[in-house]
Structure 1
């Protein structure tokens, strides 16, 4: 029997409850944003709802993950800045969820410290995107050789070389892997953005909202020819 996509979505949502909702409750207390984030968390829908309800639930889960990811990356976030994060995260999540058709898409995520991006992984998973994590360039290249992916997201710092991510993209291209690549870094400088563009990457960012929007754009279904 073929797998039920709706059931897979429901299972993914259930698995995210413990990893997203509890950290956000802590963030609410810390940043004095109880009302906005409580509305965000309480916006979860019954997972037995029809597809439209499931889409709304995905949006809420993605929004929660974007908020957590953004605040986690900046320990100095003020209440005003965190409120802005909530607004921007909602917009990005709604925009990504409206694209639709991303269930079953796969992302290869390359990062020496993948736990630092756990909220970003949950953010993509909330939209039905599978994330496969590798912690080195060699592991990433071996994995690319074993199966296809729809997008590669990689840090630049892989080992002692602060620009190893660029070398990874060049090695992947040389090996015949021409999937889109997005660099997700801690420091996005104009020089790094320029180099990523030169190498044909779809972007370079340190913002979870930009990551989500770019991933949704890249992974959106290609419209059928009329």
Structure 2
């Protein structure tokens, strides 16, 4: 049985205080295994017989130190040709379709940022440097209701590829122990950046095995700095396989780490990782939240131009369908038609335009006044194509609207507030 998603983690994500740290396990179904990757590189390297035999013996032996040594031999022998060759192996032997759903779920979770040590091209992002650091640390935080998390081609949170990326992206891939040392100790800004993130955000580790010494040391620094105690909420969470209750208790008490465990049935079933990722997505993604909230509800759209609301109607209907339910979308062109429809039907939600109607008043204002006179009851959200003045907003709220939303993002934020308080 997969563990429930902690409410504290959900809250931290929605509040824009959570950063995802994505490791090799996330991309494991798509990336060639370590030995296969090294053999593919060896086939592209021009090695003398002695070096080729040395490489083969290291890879066949398969110990972690042997594989690290094989990586260093290849990196040294291939020089500038190493990164292009690595990109070729990933392109030929990789299977990005195997993690297509994972990538989509990751993009739909409103993290403030995503860090990854993976250098494959399956997550699009920036490499370490001043531009990336400024974007993550200094730009305004991303609000969870923004379209970047729920549109059809949602890019999700900004990604920093801590160990570089194969291909012409202006950064060398961190592949060997020497690369690790250079990244850690030749670039002080790199560790300062990570310390800042770890100290000021809740971290969610996805596909991370915690074998990197510098990562564990960094976590220890943060725990000591804030004096983490047993009763404090975790400073980080991790999706991990087969964590027993006593192990989870230790991780919380002494490592400040909340374990979200999934059962692998003795190492034979890793689908639990995807189920946990889906659960986190569904608990935080605005589209999923609104879709569940609108299941079985009728929404009345009041706008003289059906084309202006077509996108919103489709998003809300699709959101309900994606959540396993259905909603009814009704479109009318004026306040008069809306009032007549409401006399004979019930609406769970009315979304009314603020554009001026034929009577010289905003359509939503006329409708709200008519509904008040007729004692018609429904939740009304005003949708304005342009920003409204504070006076107009106050007038709409005084007449009974729950909010005046400018643009789709604010509309969906208000619907989530009304129907699915988070």
What is the aligned length?
146
The answer to whether the 8 A contact 1:151-1:218 is kept is no
Show the counterpart of 2:68: none
Q: CA deviation at 1:192?
A: 1.3
Show the counterpart of 1:110: 302
Moved more, 98-107 or 172-181: 98-107
Show the counterpart of 2:288: 97
> What CA deviation, in whole Å up to 9, does each residue of 1:27-51 have, x standing for no partner?
xxxxxxxxxxxxxxx9679xxxxxx
Could you tell me the TM-score, scaled by structure 1's length?
0.55
CA distance in 1, matches of 2:414, 2:316: 11
> What CA deviation, in whole Å up to 9, does each residue of 1:72-97 have, x standing for no partner?
xxxxxxxxxxxx89992144671341
CA distance in 1, matches of 2:145, 2:349: 27
**Which runs of 4 or more aligned residues in structure 1 lie more than 4 Å from their structure 2 counterparts after TM superposition?**
42-45, 84-87
Question: After the TM superposition, which residues 142-181 of structure 1 pair with which residues of structure 2 at under 5 Å, given as runs?
Answer: 142-156=340-354, 157-181=356-380
Show the counterpart of 1:88: 146
Q: Runs of 5+ in structure 2 lacking a partner?
A: 1-98, 110-141, 152-284, 321-326
Larger RCO: 1 or 2 (CA < 8 Å, sep 6+): 1
Show the counterpart of 1:210: 410
SS at match of 2:382: strand
RMSD (CA atoms): 3.2
> What CA deviation, in whole Å up to 9, does each residue of 1:85-117 have, x standing for no partner?
999214467134136242121111000012112
CA distance in 2, matches of 1:43, 1:119: 25
Q: Runs of 5+ in structure 1 lacking a partner?
A: 1-41, 46-52, 61-83, 222-226
Hey, which of these two has a bigger chunk of helix by percent? Answer: 1
Q: CA deviation at 1:137?
A: 1.3
The answer to whether the 8 A contact 2:301-2:330 is kept is yes
Q: CA deviation at 1:174?
A: 1.7
The answer to whether the 8 A contact 1:103-1:127 is kept is no
Q: CA deviation at 1:126?
A: 1.6
* Aligned CA distance change for structure 1 residues 105 and 216 (closer, same or farther; 3 Å): farther
